[in-house]
Structure 1
Amino acid sequence: MATILCYGDSLTWGSAPNGGRYPKHLRWPNILNKLIGEHHQVINFGLPGRTTLWNDPFLEGRNGLAYIQAALETFGPVDILIIMLGTNDLKRHFNVGAYEAAKGVEKLIARSRIPNTYNFPAPSIVVVAPPNILSPAGSMAESFTGAVEKSQFFHKYYQEVAVQHHCIFLNSAGVIQPSEMDGVHLDAEGNEQLANALADLIHIEINK
């Protein structure tokens, strides 16, 4: 049995574009679990607002780097770690782009491979470049001013980091796009499509 930890933000947590949270069966980590077999364990450790490594002055506990080791020990041993973070890095008040987000992912990779208290082996890592942001609407509009253009470079910089650090890579923009309702979050179809794309990669990794 493999343990797969999904470390992400609201797109992993299951935020719906019209507000609230999808029921479990519509969130991509739960769909992924069904696709690869429920004898494996897929853990949804998404948190709305989580960044790669930035401290958000408006939301506490969103620094992904600060909690990755604790997450790996809490759920360990973890066989496969899926990292899909960076969308929130593009919020206007952080004033960074896709390059800096990718460098944040690079730090997460390094931190996840540090020897831990319990001698759990380092997990295989899947780096997922977040989907391109569409025209943010509603409450997303102000927060993500300028993010549409920046998000176009997620796949370039994330792939470079993944290749350099021998991680599996998925460019999610190649299979999904956010809902037009808010331009950031996934609709139910997007969750299903992402789960299917990841299932192909996870099957290969599990069966090595």
Structure 2
Amino acid sequence: MATILCYGDSLTWGAAPHGSRFNRNQRWPELLGEKLGANNEVINLGLPGRTTIWDDPFKEGRNGSLSIQAALEIFGPVDILVLMLGTNDLKRYFNVGAYEAAKGIEQIIQKVRVPSPHCFSTPKVVIIAPPNILSPKGDLADMYQGAVEKSQDLHQHYQRVATLYDCEFLNSAGIIQPSELDGIHLDLLANQRLSEELEPIILKLLNH
């Protein structure tokens, strides 16, 4: 049995654009698990508000780089790590852009590559560039001021990191977009589509 750990933010967690959380059978990690079958375990470790390396002054424990090694121990040995972060990095109060988000992804990968104290094999990594942010609505409009333009550059910087560290790469902006309801989160169709695009990538890694 292979263990696939999906490490992300609310887009992985399953936040619904209308509020609340999608059911288990509607979130892309769980949908991916259904496609891969019972011989593989897909773990959804999404956390709303999680960033790559930034400490959120309004939410504790959201710095993704600080908990990645603990996650790999808790669920280890992990065969494949699917990493989709960066949307929250573009919040106005962090004052960073796509380049810095990619540097955050790079720092997480460096921590993933540190030898395991339990002699676990280093997981293979899939980097997903988050979808482009649309026009955020309501409170999100202030929070993500300027982020629409910044998000359009995520994929090129993430692809550079993926090439540098020999990771698989998926540009989700090329296949999905957030719901127009809030401009940030994925609807049911986007969750389904993302799971479909990931399936062959994961299968290829499992067969090598």
Give the TM-score of the pair, scaled to structure 1.
0.99
SS at match of 1:71: helix
- Structure 1 vs Structure 2: percent identity of aligned residues? 61
Corresponding residue number in structure 2 for 1:108: 108
State the one-letter code of the partner of 2:118. Answer: Y
Unaligned runs of 5+ in 2: none
Alpha-carbon offset, residue 119 of structure 1? 1.0
Alpha-carbon offset, residue 205 of structure 1? 0.8
SS at match of 2:127: strand
Output one character per residue of 1:102-145: Cα deviation in whole Å (capped at 9) or x when no partner. 00000000100101221111100000000000000122111100
Tell me the matched-pair count. 208
Alpha-carbon offset, residue 38 of structure 1? 2.1
Query: CA-atom RMSD, angstroms?
Result: 0.6
Corresponding residue number in structure 2 for 1:140: 140
State the one-letter code of the partner of 1:99. Answer: Y
Distance 1:31 1:46 in 2: 14
Corresponding residue number in structure 2 for 1:129: 129
Unaligned runs of 5+ in 1: none
Corresponding residue number in structure 2 for 1:57: 57
Post-superposition, which runs of at least 4 consecutive aligned residues in structure 1 deviate over 4 A? Answer: none
State the one-letter code of the partner of 1:170. Answer: L
Output one character per residue of 1:17-52: Cα deviation in whole Å (capped at 9) or x when no partner. 000000000000000001111220000000000000
Give the TM-score of the pair, scaled to structure 2.
0.99
SS at match of 2:169: strand
Alpha-carbon offset, residue 199 of structure 1? 0.6
Distance 1:194 1:114 in 2: 29
Distance 2:111 2:138 in 1: 36
Distance 1:29 1:181 in 2: 22
Corresponding residue number in structure 1 for 2:20: 20
